Amino acid sequence: MSNRRKFFQVAALGAAGMALSSRAEAAGSGYVIPAEGIPSLPVVGSAARFPVRRIYCMGLNYPNHVAEGKGGFKAPPFYFQKAADMIVQNNSQVDYPLLTKDFEYELEMVVALKSGGKNIAKEQALDCVYGYAVGLDMTRRDLQGEGIDKRMPWEPGKSFDQCAPCSAITPASKVGYLSQGRIQLKVNGQVHQNDDIGAMIYDVPSIIAFLSKSVALAAGDIIYTGTPAGSGPVVSGDRMVGTIDQLETLTITVA
């Protein structure tokens, strides 16, 4: 083989190696594609942030919201999930989503966990709580309704991009165990939801104990605890302001 041919082969191999190396560097150490950052939420009074591992959402946890539903039945506790990267930071815009003509809000208290486990006793459940926040379980209600009617999963209606707005987390060390307090949502300045978290059918310890029998909870998990009556639709340009006593106000606009 001529020296000239060897030169071009070595050069080609070197260029291929550089390209592979470049792609590996772009992908991040140990990954074949770029690794996304960990979703997180700010913490009131701290420069550090709370990393979000999983999002659990409780359904039908206020009596007046149950009464709004089909048949007015009282269900046993149940939950669904949203992906962690569906979190939306406070004071942000959310896009009106595709595939729906009925984009609705559900204001909820959010519980952030600092520890977890399996089959947690209700009496020890509050030891797992890091803090609390104000969240919106945004819902494509028409798609959820189709799922209910066809006995299919709720994911199309409940789990989609930008469906989980959440305020900064207020540590429990600042506010104690929140078992009472006004929960209220205004849309364009008008009150649409107004209740007390003390009206929840299943309180925070009961929710944590229930979930831990189904899945292993862990630090970084957040739990949306259910919404009171008054959920309803929003359109582009609407401004939602959610408040719960002692927690940071959540403000979200629909783009």
Number of folded domains that form the chain: 2
pLDDT of 145: 94
Name the more confident of 166 and 2. 166
Do 167 and 249 contact (CB within 8 A), yes or no? yes
Tokens found for residue 149 = 């009617």
Phi then psi for residue 74, to 5 deg, are: -100, 115
pLDDT of 68: 72
Q: Verify that 14 and 96 share a domain, yes or no.
A: no
Q: Verify that 92 and 178 share a domain, yes or no.
A: yes
Find all residues with CB under 8 Å of 21, minimum gap 6, and list them.
none
Among 141, 192, 169, 149, smallest CA distance to 247 is for 169
The pLDDT tens digits of the residues spanning 59-114 come to 989 998 776 765 445 567 889 999 999 999 999 999 999 999 999 999 999 999 99
Q: How far is CA 18 from the centre of its chain?
A: 41
Do 81 and 153 contact (CB within 8 A), yes or no? no
pLDDT of 122: 98
Q: Which domain holds residue 228?
A: 38-254
Q: Verify that 9 and 46 share a domain, yes or no.
A: no
Name the more confident of 184 and 3. 184
- pTM for the model stands at 0.88
Over residues 111-137, the mean pLDDT reads 98
Q: Verify that 60 and 182 share a domain, yes or no.
A: yes
Q: Verify that 13 and 44 share a domain, yes or no.
A: no
Tokens found for residue 135 = 């969240």
Q: How far is CA 236 from the centre of its chain?
A: 21
Mean pLDDT (the chain, rounded): 89
Residue 115 sits in a domain of what CATH number?
3.90.850.10
DSSP string, 120-132: --GGGGGGGEEEE
Q: Verify that 99 and 205 share a domain, yes or no.
A: yes
pLDDT of 159: 98
pLDDT at 120 over 90: yes
pLDDT of 105: 98
pLDDT at 12 over 60: no
Q: Verify that 56 and 181 share a domain, yes or no.
A: yes
Q: Tokens 């003390």, residue?
A: 198
Query: What is the percentage of the chain residues whose pLDDT exceeds 70?
Result: 86
Tokens found for residue 190 = 């008008």
Q: Tokens 């059918």, residue?
A: 201
Q: Verify that 190 and 206 share a domain, yes or no.
A: yes
Among 151, 49, 149, 163, smallest CA distance to 104 is for 163
Q: Verify that 3 and 94 share a domain, yes or no.
A: no
Q: Verify that 178 and 192 share a domain, yes or no.
A: yes
